[in-house]
Structure 1
Amino acid sequence: MTPPVFGHGHLRLYLLSVLEERDMHGYEIIQAISDRFGGTYVPSAGTIYPRLAKLEAEGLVTKADADGRRTVYSLTGAGRAELDARRAELDSIEEGVGDSVRRLADEVRASVSDAMASLRAELAAAARDARDDARGAASAANDRARDARRAADAPDAPRASTTPPPSGTTEVRSESRAQLARAEALLADFRQEVRADLRRAIAAGRPLDAAAVDALAAGLTSLRADLGAQLP
């Protein structure tokens, strides 16, 4: 648990020391404290205003409206007297503030280091995914080229003939080749997308079990059977 910036009752005295510099409105007081801490600590309005109200009730500060919009707080004679009587205690508080600034700065550095480490890990994972996707795309292109060569070299592939084909045969074969190319592209894209999805799931820490792969195999088998039933 992070220790408090101010010990019990110390913020009350510290506010008097801030107002000793000059009269300020509430936001200026918050900013002055933040500046003293180098921006590592910014007290909330809910912390400052109730304490100012208590100091006013004790007669140590007074407030007045400035330009009709802001309330300016001033140190009273009684407030200055209390500060003078407690200078040694205030010096101790100032030393504690220095320790708090160093501690808070260490915490800020640690949080920034953690954030940078997390960012580097995310960038490395993204780079791996990009490389995997690129390899998958190249593999899919190679698969399409190989399948095209096999289709061209198949025994029943169309051969050049000096005899004109029957009417309509050329159109049918052209349509078949076009649909074959489309089917191969769909299969290659499907393979690439599923592979990328699986790799991203594993990189994100989601488990990949045998049941999921079995479901993929069953789905592909069922799809192949349905496709076979539609072919003449």
Structure 2
Amino acid sequence: MPYHGGPMTEAMYYVLLALIRPNHGYQLMQAITDVSKGRLQMGPGTLYGVLSRMQKDGLICLEDSDGRRKTYRITAEGEVALRMEYARLKSVIEDSEMLEEGDK
């Protein structure tokens, strides 16, 4: 069943963001930690569950496999979904600006 938009989990969002450059599992865990500035650290169980689901949804694909190491990359559909989620998150922040107004 393809992904049809709607809010993504934080894990999905960061996996897609980290897969702008193709990566394999261990590198991907490190890239997620780096891109989230250490805020999100994903373990192998969570990561491989998310990767499996996103592959079924057509958001990522297997680029290479040497039997032991699998390298994944974001698909065109995945990039569209990532950009849609980015726009949604920006709107959420913009809609919440009244919180900052109260601090002034």
Task: Please state which band the TM-score falls in when normalised by the shorter chain.
Answer: 0.5 to 0.7
Give the Cα separation in 1 of the matches to 2:41 and 2:82.
23
Aligned residue-pair number? 86
Task: Kindly provide the CA deviation profile for residues 155-191 of structure 1, in whole angstroms up to 9, marking residues without a partner as x.
Answer: xxxxxxxxxxxxxxxxxxxxxxxxxxxxxxxxxxxxx
Give the Cα separation in 1 of the matches to 2:38 and 2:17.
18
Please name the residue that 2:57 is paired with.
58
TM-score, length basis structure 1 = 0.33
Please name the residue that 1:10 is paired with.
10
Counterpart contact for 1:19–1:74, Cα < 8 Å: yes
Task: Kindly provide the CA deviation profile for residues 22-49 of structure 1, in whole angstroms up to 9, marking residues without a partner as x.
Answer: 0000111100112234446421101111
Give the Cα separation in 2 of the matches to 1:16 and 1:28.
14
Q: Which amino acid aligns with 1:69?
A: R
TM-score, length basis structure 2 = 0.67
Greater relative CO, 1 or 2 (CA 8 Å, sep 6+): 2
Higher strand share: 2
Local SS of the residue matching 1:63: strand
Percent of counterpart pairs with the same letter? 35
CA RMSD of aligned residues (A): 2.6
Please name the residue that 2:95 is paired with.
none
Query: Where do 5+ consecutive residues of structure 2 fail to align?
Result: 1-6, 93-104
Aligned-pair CA distance for 1:15: 1.2
Q: Which amino acid aligns with 1:14?
A: Y
Counterpart contact for 2:14–2:36, Cα < 8 Å: no
Aligned-pair CA distance for 1:90: 4.6
Local SS of the residue matching 1:86: helix
